[in-house]
Amino acid sequence: MIAGEARTKRRLQNFVLGSCLFLVSLAALALALFPIYVIRPFREQKPVALQHALWVTLHDKPILFGLFLLIAICALFVWRRAGWVARLLLAPAMGIALIAAAASWVNPYEQMMFHPFGEPRYVTIQQAGIDAKDMVIAVTLGGESRAYPIREMGYHHVVNDRLHQLPIVVTY
């Protein structure tokens, strides 16, 4: 009976360790996603939260890589002695920690959303479908004018264009 109790106790310890590693991996993922959440476009960004998000952006790569290594080493160390229930926590813990470390290298706003509008297509104001309440960035040069809707500029932030035979860059 003592051997059975020791085995049960060891499995419980491995389950607790697996649960802790899983929770740490979720915390690592939250750390990786925090700047993405705070620095969302079209939303008020509070100075303190923005300061924290920028600090995390500057320092999260080594922190998350270290957490991934720690989680992976601990999980692999425990894996051989763990039961199937603990392994169900250890495998996702390593995967989530790896995803968190990889997410620290990706900025979805710069890489997916805010890419320059290379060659914009223009229509007359009657065809544009711009409401009277829509805000635009207006540029006039040499008697030639263009209007860039804020709703489009908010996603691209940069338009490379030519106006009155000159290259211009419009930013928002």
Q: Do 156 and 78 have their domain in common?
A: no
Q: pLDDT value at position 39?
A: 81
Q: Do 65 and 28 have their domain in common?
A: yes
pTM (two decimals): 0.65
Q: Which one-letter DSSP state was computed for residue 143?
A: T
| Tokens at 169, concatenated | 């860059």
Q: Do 41 and 74 have their domain in common?
A: yes
Distance, CA of 92 to CA of 89 (rounded, Å) = 6
Distance, CA of 53 to CA of 39 (rounded, Å) = 7
- Assess if residue 117 is contained within a domain: no
Distance, CA of 33 to CA of 20 (rounded, Å) = 20
Q: pLDDT value at position 112?
A: 63
For residue 67, give the nearest of 19, 15, 30, 25 by alpha carbon: 25
- Domain interval for residue 22: 2-107
Q: pLDDT value at position 155?
A: 67
Provide the number of structural domains found in the chain: 2
- Assess if residue 137 is contained within a domain: yes
Q: Do 45 and 95 have their domain in common?
A: yes
Over residues 106-122, the pLDDT tens digits come to 877 666 666 666 666 77
Please determine, for residue 52, whether its predicted confidence score (pLDDT) is greater than 90.
Answer: yes
- Assess if residue 120 is contained within a domain: no
Q: Do 12 and 88 have their domain in common?
A: yes
Instruction: Quickly state the pLDDT bin for 38 (edges 50, 70, 90).
Output: confident
CA angle 164, 165, 169 (to 5 degrees): 80
- Assess if residue 18 is contained within a domain: yes
